[in-house]
Each structure stands twice: as C-alpha cells, then as structure tokens.
C-alpha cells in the first residue's frame, strides 16, 4: 500500500500561529494515521489474499519448530518390505475442519492417514488382532519403526499430516485425519482407516509413513494399489486414479524435498505397486501410501528429524494432491 500522510503533503502557505489546543491535536493526527496504516498493513486487511509462496512461508514459520520430542517407547523394527507384515493406516474418530470460504480446492475432500499411532505400543493385544483385508488376514496395526535415536514413525507421520492438512485447508479443501493427538488411543485398524476415507467420499486419500529398512537403503517411494478383487476388496475402480495420484505426489515430492527415489525398491521410479495392504485393498476412493524416507539410514534420518524438511515433505505431497485434484 502506498503511504500518503503529513510527511508527503505538498508545502502549505504559512498560517497564523495556532493556539495550544490546535497544536496538540495536530500532533496527534499523524500518530493516529500511522497507527492505522501499521494495523492495515500487518493484520487489519484480513487473510486469504496472499500468493501461494506467501502461504507456504507462513505455514513454514508456524509449523517448522524442529524435530518432535523422541518418545520413550521402544517401537518395533518394522522394515515393511513387500511380503512382510506392513502396517496400514486405520481410523476411528476422524478429525476435520470446515474449508475456507474460497480456494481452488473448495468442495474437495482429502483424507490424511497418519501411519500408526503413538499409543500403539501400549495396546499390543489390540493391534495384534487380525482383520480381514480381502486377500487375507493381517494385524490390526503395528507400532511402526523409529530412527536409531528413538524418533518414532508415529511422531513423524502425525507431524507431517498436520502440516499437510494446514496447506490443503488454505486452498479450500475439507481435510480429515484418521486419528489425531491420541484419539483414539491406539489404531485405528487398517480396515477402519480405509473405511474413514470411503465414508468421507474422499476425492483423494493418502497414508503417511516412513520406512525402517537397513542402513544404506534410502530414498522415498509411493505405494500404489494393485488390482485386487477378493472378498471385501475390489480396487479395480480406483487403480487408474490412484496411479495418477501417486505419480503426481512422487513427482512433486522429489522436486520440493530433493529426496531421491528409493535405491532399494521401485527400480529408481519411486513407485511401487502392492496388493497386501489393507488400507489400499479396502479403499473405494483414490488412495496411495508414501514412505517419505528410511528412518534407519543416517542421511534420511537427519532429514526426517528436521522440522524444516518435514515442511518441505508436506509441501511436496500437497502440491501432488493439488495437481491431481485440479486435473479431476
């Protein structure tokens, strides 16, 4: 905003000497005007008018407060390789917020599934219970993995999910989480996580994870649903749309974060198709998983424990989802 005030007024003819009251009032006017201008510039004009870059900077400033405090729990070493028990997000009491009044994603619904739950390790009997994922029976959920220093996957996934939720809501989307901040206290089970996205009629759903592979294995990969038609599972209607979502997420994730595609799975494409994950098998809406990096590799762990990098991860995922939704 341009400033027009006493300092920029043209010179005026000399006037008769003013009385004390007139002088006092004249001294107050510039200060009041300046105060109004500061208010108008900093906060008085309302939100929603900034550029995308300004929005991202604001989100980064608000959310990038460093790595979360490591949990004292000892999570299991879940490498989550194809063929081994692999945790899938669940859901019980989804959390959501109303979309902003306008934005390119107004009317769109996104479900974010933070992998695992920080409380899972206290409920091993519950999460070890088997549930039907269509192709077979698998554990309700797992505790997830962690860095060697103890920063857990469940902490990581919640943090990235919160950042992602904020970015998408700023563009007008309605965003739901499958669980949040200890509610429910464990899980939900993988079938429940899928059901949350289905019941929300989500336009896109994504499950946030980090891997627990061997040191030296690094990079991200996005998991796409394979064509499954067995029992309660039928992914055939969502396979193509999910592939489009996954490709856009992968492309934007590598561009924004600089994290390379996995060097140990996916043949360098950053894309993997699986048929053994209940969160994908039971989904009736376009859905993918993303393993943002390997928590057991020192280079990846340094990124995953950085608040600034987690903001980049959320931004890359967000841009992939936005690209997918705008192409719909």
Q: Is the dihedral of CA 274, 276, 282, 287 positive or negative?
A: negative
- Rounded Cα–Cα distance for residues 172 and 167 (Å): 9
Q: Report DSSP state, residue 180.
A: B
Q: Using a CB cutoff of 8 Å and minimum separation of 24, what contacts does 47-53 make? A: 48/100, 48/101, 48/102
Under 8 Å CB-to-CB from 229, ≥6 apart: which residues?
Answer: 235, 236
Nearest residue to 287 (alpha-carbon basis) of 277, 301, 298: 277
Under 8 Å CB-to-CB from 32, ≥6 apart: which residues?
Answer: none
- Which among 139, 259, 291, 319 is annotated as catalytic? 291
Our answer to whether residue 153 is catalytic in this structure is no
* Dihedral angle over CA of 209, 93, 226, 154, nearest 10: 10
Nearest residue to 178 (alpha-carbon basis) of 207, 153, 137, 154: 207
Tokens of 34: 């300046």
**Catalytic annotation, residues:** 291
């Amino acid at each position: 905003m341009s400033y027009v005030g006493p300092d920029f007024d043209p010179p005026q003819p000399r006037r008769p000497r003013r009385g004390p009251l007139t002088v006092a009032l004249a001294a107050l006017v510039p200060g009041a005007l300046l105060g109004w201008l500061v208010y108008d510039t900093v906060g008085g004009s309302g939100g929603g008018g900034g550029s995308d870059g300004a929005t991202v900077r604001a989100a980064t400033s608000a959310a990038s407060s460093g790595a979360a405090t490591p949990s004292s729990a000892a999570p299991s070493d879940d490498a989550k390789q194809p063929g081994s028990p692999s945790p899938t997000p669940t859901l019980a009491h989804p959390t959501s917020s109303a979309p902003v009044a306008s934005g390119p994603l107004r009317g769109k619904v996104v479900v974010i599934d933070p992998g695992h739950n920080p409380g899972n390790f206290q409920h091993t009997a519950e999460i070890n219970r088997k549930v039907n994922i269509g192709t077979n029976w698998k554990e309700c959920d797992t505790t997830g993995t962690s860095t060697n220093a103890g920063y857990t996957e469940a902490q990581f996934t919640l943090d990235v999910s919160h950042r992602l939720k904020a970015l998408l809501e700023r563009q007008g989307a309605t965003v739901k989480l499958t669980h949040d901040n200890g509610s429910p206290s464990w899980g939900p089970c993988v079938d429940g996580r899928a059901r949350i996205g289905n019941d929300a009629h989500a336009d896109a759903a994504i499950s946030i994870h980090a891997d627990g592979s061997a040191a030296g294995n690094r990079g991200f990969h996005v998991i796409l649903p394979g064509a499954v038609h067995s029992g309660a599972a039928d992914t055939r209607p969502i396979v193509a749309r999910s592939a489009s979502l996954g490709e856009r997420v992968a492309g934007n994730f590598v561009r924004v974060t600089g994290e390379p595609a996995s060097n140990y799975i996916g043949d360098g494409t950053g894309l993997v198709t699986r048929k053994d994950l209940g969160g994908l098998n039971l989904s009736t809406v376009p859905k993918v998983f993303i393993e943002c990096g390997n928590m057991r590799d020192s280079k990846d762990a340094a990124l995953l424990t950085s608040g600034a990098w987690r903001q980049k991860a959320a931004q890359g995922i967000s841009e992939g989802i936005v690209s997918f939704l705008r192409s719909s």
